[in-house]
Each structure stands twice: as structure tokens, then as C-alpha cells.
Structure 1
């Protein structure tokens, strides 16, 4: 971070007075002095925080699963308003800059009333108002590919009062998790009538800010996101003028940190980063390294509506074929195993629920028995088929989500080794998560990482002499549609790792409402499971009910949890003193409180300009 303060240039008026005194001196008169140089005017260069990140991610809508990334979390934390925010302990607390009051005002019907801060507004000049609540509610109820939609579907009405500065939210029944709703509000006045307003404006930006910073520019070519102080912000303004999120490969990270090209780094915990930190550890002033969990769990989601995986015995066989520990070791070896469908390893009350054997652990005998029970036979080459047709599946991952693609490749290799044909497709992430069928786009070839290693997200490692490029997927092995599209049988996608367990389970594994197609990726519906999810959604998190829901999920297998990635916060002594940066609450991340960060001691620099506005030498 660099702050530049004005120089104490001699005022022009004082200079003129001195010249007048000289003119009145005794005879003989000296020669007239030369014209004075143009007066200088000090300018202040903005204070700036530069944070290194692995990649920018595919988009910046914090409510879309396809857009989940540390950068999206950072932007939302700094630029979007939320009624409640987590404190240092992760407990939700009312944000008075957005709402001065939020409380249950009726039990029948169950109603929550919000009194909004009358000064709260968007960077466009429009007020943060009831229409923003209505827009988010309506979109979260009907849009696919969303995070935490279950609570919004419990709402029956959102009513405006006080010229839009008060809101009454009415629920179908008492909803104990209402404080988790209406986070990261979006500017309805810009989005509600815009074509593709829910997704298109977030592909390369955020259309307006309601926080202390606003998103100024996204430069994907240079790999930079620029946020600047939001001048119309109604509360205490941010101390720093700019925050830059900059894509920085692991091999250049030590140099960037030592040369002060970046002030802090926010990478995933990976072997390449560990090696880079080993270099920095030998410096006279090694950096501070903090570790914290990412707000998502990586998992595989199975297509249960149709196709070969509609048969639960085939899902059991697929799960028993896969070695989850080997997938984690190949893609993210420092991640934490995830052995439950609801809670994440980062949750204080997390308990692994995976059974001792299959499908929690790979078991070829169990896999063979499950496939055989479903009617499949194994040929001399070890390939499974039914009625002469080979068992084949399509494994899908978002093209922009490089870690997902690496997971898909490892999964496909394991399935092939287990006698199940597999094809990897990597269409754009938003398309993958919002369409029943996608184009069979092959992923971009990358080098095969050594065990325990891998290319950094967003970076393609060059092949070495001992590496061979991973071949692209074979021709589609399922029957394509008329336009050549295919349905994805195994989807690599994140699920949220924060919030109450009931809404999490219902949002991920509950039966979809009537206005959402039931053939979309990640959508499942099990009559035996739904009553348990309903009970957890609107009631307390009864451990017995959670345990029973977990048992049903391990039997039905709509998905297969993999791991929770760990993130790092790397900073130097000056940055620590100025920012006191931490990994932050899991849902808001390291940029929580960035508006209070100040410049480090001793980083001041003065730049003066002449009358033409040009820097002086």
C-alpha cells in the first residue's frame, strides 16, 4: 500500500510579497529578477491495497453457484449491502448501515419487518429499498444454479412501506433462519427490466455498489479487478482509495511480495504455494501465513432423473468405484476430506457421516455387485454393459473453473479404470448449471499434474519433459440430442459451507418447486428424504433428524462429497500493521473490514506537479 501526501510548497501569495519587498530596496536598483517558475501544486496519489489471487473466476453474482470464487466473495463483501453480516465469531449481526431494525412482528402469518436506513443508497443515486428485497426474493425462488434458495421459497409476500424504506416479509410458516436471507442485495432498478439481468451484468462486473467500495473495472486480459472508494457511500468512507485483486501465478508470488508489488496474497493452499512460501521463509522478514477454509465443499452431483444413474444401484456402483481420497490428493492435496452432505469440515458441529465401507470408501467388490444387480455384465476387457450397450457416463465441469475440470479428469480416469466409459465435457459454467443438456465441449488440454500437485486455478502449467498432455475426451458416449448436445451424468460443482444445516440440505437435495424444471443438473427428489428436509428447514437442527437425513442421502446418493479447500492469507509486517487482515468469517472472507484498513507506517511518498499538472523531477 502506498500513500502520497502533499508537499509543503511555498504559497504563491507569500512568494509575491517577497518579490515586492525586493522591489522597494535602496538605490541603486538591481536588475529585475527573472520571472519566477510556475508555482507547484501538490497532488495526492491514491492509497492502494493490492491483493494477489489465483484467478478472477467466471462471473461475479454471489448468488450463483457457477460464479463462486474468492474474488466474487471479496467483491460482494466490499460492494454489496446485506441486512445481517457475520461478526468475528461468525454470528450474524444487524448491519445498521443498511437496516436500523429487523425483527419478527407477527407469528400468524409469520412476518419479519425491516426498517431500512433512510440514507442507504446505490452508487447510481437510487435508494436501497423494498424493490431490492422483492427482486432478490423473486429471482431466488425461480432461478436455477442458486445458493441457499430454500429460505426464499418459504416467503409468500414482500410488502413495501414508508416509500420503500420499510419492508414486511411474510412467510408460509415460522422460519427460524430468516436472518440468513437478504444478504448481498442487488440493484433492482438496473436489473429487473434488463435482458438477462440476473446473469449477464455480472459476467464482467457488478452494475452498482451499495457498500464502501464500488467495482470500477474488470480487466480479464491483465487479470485485474479494480475497486475504488464509493464516494456516494452514506456511512464512514473507506480509508484506502483503491483495492486491486490481481491474478498472480505461484512462481511469481515470492517476487511480488518481496518487491511490494502486492501487499497480501489470498491463494488456495496448494503444493506450488507451499514451495513459494519456502522461498519467502528464508528471507530476513518472512511473511505471516494464516489458513482458513473456503466457503464451499467440492462434490460430485449425480443425474438421478434419467439416464444410467437414475438407477440407485448404478449410482452405488459408480460411488464405490471412485476413490475420493485419490481425487483429493491429485487435485487439492491440502484440502480437508468432506464426509457429510450437510455440514462442512469447517462447521464446529461437523461429524463425518460416511459409512465405513462403500460408498464412503472405494470397494471394487461392492461396485461389481451393484452393477450386476442392475443387470450389467462385465466382458473380458473389464467393461460393463447392459444388453450389449456399454455403460458410459458424461462427466461435466465448468470450463472457467479449472479445479472442477481437473476433478472431472481424475474422475473420468478412475471410472475408465473401473470399466465404466466416460466422457469429459467442459462448457461455460453458467450453461452447465442451468441447462438439462449442453454442447459436448471438450476441455482445454493441460499437462497432467504429478501426484499431489496441479496447475494453479486459472493457470495452465507448461508440459515438462516427463509430462504428457492429458488427451481430450473421447467422442460422446451417450446418445446426443438432435443438436449434438448431451446430458451430464456426473457434475462437478461446489455447494455452500456456511449457514444453518436445514436450509443447506433443502437447497441442495430437496424436491424442486413446480416452477423449476426437474431435469436440471443437481436437481433431485426422494420422497423418503423430503419429510426429513422439511422438518429441518422450518425447525431446529435436531441431531437425530440430521443423522437420519445423512443416512438416507448415503443410501440414495444424489451426490458424493469430496473435500473442502483451504485458503491462505499471506501478508508482510507492514500490511499486518495497517490492515490486521485475517481469513475472516467463512461467508465474507479476508476482505471483511477492508474499508477500515489504513496505510502502513513509513509508506508515505510525495509527488508534486507544476502548473501544467505534470510531475516535477
Structure 2
């Protein structure tokens, strides 16, 4: 790491004092001109690593599906404390900077006891303590829009000992996946009484740090997040002073990397990025490119409690109309197709479970048969109707999640081509994933891939700018939530959203498709209960190694009931120049924590000292 130094002129007050002393001499002589270039204490500019990213995302709470993004994962790995962290193989390992021990201390009731590091504290000065465990448990077991809630629902009590520096967590029955819990603890002392504390404080940052870095500023206009070394951090301090996550358009990425304006880039693998890398590959020092899966699967989720999709035959028909491969090719052609509800392609031993025909593959005849069985008739205009009322659905995607909106547009095109009315709404992502009905906000214009007119070299089509989807005059079956044309809140029939692609498969399945014991079906998004499915999920949740036969049966039920339709898993890139490689030894990292997991030990890349810093930084 190369330190950069600047020197300041002698302060004016010091010069005045020296001149006054000179004036007291017996034979005063004319004072020589001040030496303005004489060095005093050197001022060292901060060492810095600049990381290019696709976008900042809607928010930074790592426990919310609506906030799930590469940037949120990166910030959490640098700022939030976790009792266990995954190693390179994804196996949870105790982080002794947070807890000195975590052991099962009782089998009846099943109890895990944590002894917390007495030095561990938040950047506010408050200790990391039992109240942080209690807060996370209470939020995860009761809130919608969470990632991996099933394990927290197995907890019956969280008890504090040793003035909050020891915690006993009691479960309703032995839970073998307890090491996956209490990652990314949140500062309860700031959030527990704050209005909207679970979501609102994370829209513009992370309110306090319990890691080696602290989030200092989020500038959405410039597309930057500034993290600085967390000086109160009690363990080994970070080497670099600052890390900047900066939004970098794909067309400027080669210039940014070559000029060393960006030390490291973490984009999604997309055709435009591949084209940019082709330019860099011809340079004298081409970058190192590593790839790794993103920790989420993109999927469609169906409202099964009321509306037209409450009929499983209509869900079957809708799914049979959709060409999932075409959706992936249009939106993210470098992603990997997902053909299972539980495991993702990044999981060891992943095997597709989709049936050979519909809904695993599009089948217009199967769709027609399903709609006909449900009582629908297809008219001369190609539209499906029931009792003279056209069949229509509302498709929802978070306004801040541009890829979700792109998926919604392609889904709407395919459904309309199959005789189904489709309206797209794009409210805020947190509202979409927490409220039973949302404002019928029209998505803003965006650039989305055009449909290919036959085979396209490289597997993608040229982008075009599409206008916002106009509301259709046909809507879904009547509900109490209004309709898109009326301007009143609407219930979303088809939701575009991510689901987690890490952790044990049993808790994953129960978190995504199970029914919480105290939840009311239809009250919140994502709650759909199937009597044939829940006993299988209950068994898988508490199994140390899931029985393949039980997993297969659960998958069979899910493909038949269709609470959702998996689409694809995006792939991420880690692009670094030789200087960055030498200073950081960066890798894609464990899927749950990503490339920034080792940022504490990074040094500033050699040569990046030529970049302006501080107030002189033009960016």
C-alpha cells in the first residue's frame, strides 16, 4: 500500500506569533519573507478502494427480500456482526470477534447458549448484546418479506444472561440448522422503538456498524456508497481507510478499469459486460475475471388465496403459457435456468425436478385444456372469458428492481399473446412484498431486450426502449382491493421477486412455501397453505440431512400446486486488474456473503494513489 502525503503552509497565526517575538529584540532587523513551503506535520490522504457495481438497490436490510442485491450483501458483510460466517465451502464457522462460544447446552428443551465477546460493540458505543438477538428473532418470526424465517419460528424464547453478554436460545424441538441463525445482527437499541425501524432506517443506509467498516454516506444521485474504517471496531482494524461502491454503466467499465478509476468491478454477467471485457482482453494487462452465482433465484409467485389464480387449473394454464427459457434469454441470457423449488443450480447435488411437459415447458394445448376445465371459453378474438368476463391478471414488480420490472414486461407479453389480459404495476419493492394490496403505479419507461426474430448470435437480442405498459381495460376477477383502472389499490396476482439460494434446503423450502402457524392466508403476500405440502415441509425443516424421497415428494406437490414458478439464477462477475489482485486477493467468496467478505484485510492497490481524493475528487 502506498501512502500519499500532502504538506500545508505554516499557519498564519503561528507566523504572527513569531513576528511579535522578533519585534521584542534589542536590534530588530527586517523580517525575512515567510517560507510558505516549509513542511509541518504531514497530512496523509485516505487510502481507498473503489468498487464498481451495477446499481445500489432499493435498500440495505440484508434480511428483506425487497432489498436483496449484490450491494446489500457487500455492505452487510463489512458492517454487520454475525455469530457464524460461511467458510470457502459454505460451512458456518464461529466468528470469535462476536461470540467466544456457541454450544448446545440442553436437549430438553433444545437450547443453544452463546457467550458474546465482551469487547464487541456497535459504532454508537452500545454493546452487541442479547437485545440484538431478541430483536432479530421477533422481527424474523412475524414480518413478511423476510429471508430464511422458518428457523426463527422454531424458537420459543431468547433469554439474556451476564448483563446481556450471554444468550440462551430455546427451540420447540431439536433444530440442526441453528448455526445459520443470528447472522447480520441489527442494532436493537436504535431500531426497536423507531417508527418503521425494521425497514425505514435501511432505505438510506445502515444505522450503526458492528464490523470493520461503517457506512458513512449513500448518494443515490451520484450512485455511490461510502464506507470508512470503523475506528471503534474492537478486533483487528481494516487496512484501507475507505471503500466506495460506485455505480458504473457497462459502456464505461473498460475505461474505468484501465484508468484505475475503479479498482474492482462486481457486475452481473450480461452480454454488454461480456462485450466490454472483450475490449479489455486486448490490453497489455487484461483484467482477471472470476464468476460466481448470485445468492438468489428469480421467480414468479402466484396469489393462490383469492382472485382468478385461486383456482389451481388457472395457475396451471398460466404456467403452461409461459416460456421460462425465453424470459431468461430476453432479460438475463447469461443466467442459469432453475428447474426446482428448493435447491438452486449453485447447490451441490442440484438436480432439476420440473416435469418434462407443462409447466416445465410451454405447452399451448395443455394451457387450453386447463382453462377449459376451469370453465373458461376462448372467443373469436383469442381472449379467454368466464361468464362473458375476460380473464386478466395484475403483475407486480418492485419499481426499484429494474430486472424484476423487465421480467414483468416479458411475462405480460407472453400472457397477452396467449389470450390473457395483463396489467403491470410497479410500486415500491417493500410495499409490494409486505402489503396485501398496492397502489397501481405504472412502471416508468426502461430499456428492455427486444424479442429475437430467430436465432441471435451470442444468445441475446439488441436492446430497445419500451414505453410503460398501459393498463388494459380488462382486469382480474373482482376483489375488495380495487382495479388498476380505478386508481384504487390492487391485489397482485403474479409477483416477480427473488428467493434465497443459500442455506439448508429444508429451512429454505419452509421459509418460501410454508405457512406460519399464526399467519392468516390472504392477509399477507406469499402465504399460501397446501394441506398435502405442510407435513413434508415440517419434516424437512428439522432434518439434519433431508430425505431425498421427501424432497422429491415436496417438489412434486409444488409443481402441481404452483404457488410459484422458478425462472433463473443470475451469475455475478469479479473483475480486477493485476494491482487489485496483488492488494486484495479477491475471490467471489461464499455465496451468502460474496466478494467483499475479506475486505478487512485488503490493502490499497498500487497505483490507485494517483486518483484524486477527498474534496478534490471529481466523482
TM-score by structure 1 length? 0.91
Q: Is the 8 A contact 1:129 1:165 kept in 2?
A: yes
Q: Is the 8 A contact 1:512 1:518 kept in 2?
A: no
Q: Distance in 2 between matches of 1:538 and 1:452?
A: 46
Quick check: 1:484 aligned with 2:483?
no
What is aligned with 2:587? 582
**Cα gap change, 1:444/1:604 in structure 2, threshold over 3 Å: closer, same or farther?**
closer
Q: Is the 8 A contact 2:301 2:565 kept in 1?
A: yes
SS across alignment from 1:438: coil
Task: Show structure 2 runs of 5+ residues with no match.
Answer: 11-28, 454-461
**Cα gap change, 1:330/1:4 in structure 2, threshold over 3 Å: closer, same or farther?**
same
Q: Is the 8 A contact 1:3 1:605 kept in 2?
A: no
SS across alignment from 2:557: helix
Quick check: 1:533 aligned with 2:533?
no
Structure 1 residue 39 displacement after superposition: 3.4
Q: Deviations over 1:524-570 (max 9, x none)?
A: 11010000000000113111111110011001100000000000011
Q: Is the 8 A contact 2:436 2:522 kept in 1?
A: no
The 5 Å alignment of 1:101-120 reads 101-120=101-120
What is aligned with 1:592? 597
The 5 Å alignment of 1:90-239 reads 90-239=90-239
Q: Distance in 1 between matches of 2:78 and 2:611?
A: 28
Structure 1 residue 381 displacement after superposition: 1.5
SS across alignment from 2:260: coil
What is aligned with 2:18? none
Q: Is the 8 A contact 1:59 1:204 kept in 2?
A: yes
Structure 1 residue 154 displacement after superposition: 0.3
What is aligned with 1:23? none
Q: Distance in 1 between matches of 2:607 and 2:247?
A: 27
Structure 1 residue 382 displacement after superposition: 1.3
Structure 1 residue 581 displacement after superposition: 0.6
Q: Distance in 1 between matches of 2:335 and 2:5?
A: 44
SS across alignment from 1:299: strand
What is aligned with 2:548? 543
Quick check: 1:506 aligned with 2:506?
no
**Cα gap change, 1:112/1:518 in structure 2, threshold over 3 Å: closer, same or farther?**
farther
Task: Show structure 1 runs of 5+ residues with no match.
Answer: 11-29, 454-461
Quick check: 1:325 aligned with 2:325?
yes
Quick check: 1:522 aligned with 2:526?
yes
Structure 1 residue 8 displacement after superposition: 13
What is aligned with 1:555? 560
What is aligned with 2:457? none
What is aligned with 1:273? 273
The 5 Å alignment of 1:446-465 reads 446-451=446-451
SS across alignment from 1:358: coil
Q: Is the 8 A contact 1:3 1:599 kept in 2?
A: no
Structure 1 residue 221 displacement after superposition: 0.5
Q: Distance in 1 between matches of 2:228 and 2:177?
A: 33
Q: Distance in 1 between matches of 2:33 and 2:553?
A: 92
What is aligned with 1:295? 295
SS across alignment from 1:487: coil
Q: Distance in 2 between matches of 1:211 and 1:475?
A: 52
Q: Is the 8 A contact 1:201 1:207 kept in 2?
A: yes
Structure 1 residue 295 displacement after superposition: 0.1
Q: Distance in 2 between matches of 1:2 and 1:469?
A: 50
Structure 1 residue 443 displacement after superposition: 0.4
SS across alignment from 1:569: strand
Q: Distance in 2 between matches of 1:602 and 1:252?
A: 20
What is aligned with 2:405? 405
Quick check: 1:357 aligned with 2:357?
yes
Structure 1 residue 5 displacement after superposition: 4.7
Q: Deviations over 1:62-86 (max 9, x none)?
A: 0000000001000000000000001
Q: CA RMSD in A?
A: 2.4
Q: Is the 8 A contact 1:64 1:145 kept in 2?
A: yes
SS across alignment from 2:446: coil
TM-score by structure 2 length? 0.90
**Cα gap change, 1:603/1:416 in structure 2, threshold over 3 Å: closer, same or farther?**
closer
Q: Deviations over 1:97-152 (max 9, x none)?
A: 00000010000000000000000000000000000000000000111100000000
Q: Distance in 2 between matches of 1:99 and 1:205?
A: 25
What is aligned with 1:80? 80
How many correspondences in the alignment?
Answer: 582
**Cα gap change, 1:175/1:235 in structure 2, threshold over 3 Å: closer, same or farther?**
same
SS across alignment from 1:226: strand
Q: Distance in 2 between matches of 1:470 and 1:356?
A: 35
Q: Deviations over 1:292-331 (max 9, x none)?
A: 0000000000000001111111110000000000000000
Q: Deviations over 1:35-76 (max 9, x none)?
A: 544632311111111001110000000000000000100000
SS across alignment from 1:217: strand
Q: Is the 8 A contact 2:444 2:467 kept in 1?
A: no
Q: Deviations over 1:486-508 (max 9, x none)?
A: 11000000000000001000000
Q: Which moved more, 1:544-553 or 1:592-601?
A: 592-601
Q: Distance in 2 between matches of 1:452 and 1:99?
A: 54
Q: Distance in 1 between matches of 2:612 and 2:531?
A: 69
SS across alignment from 1:591: helix
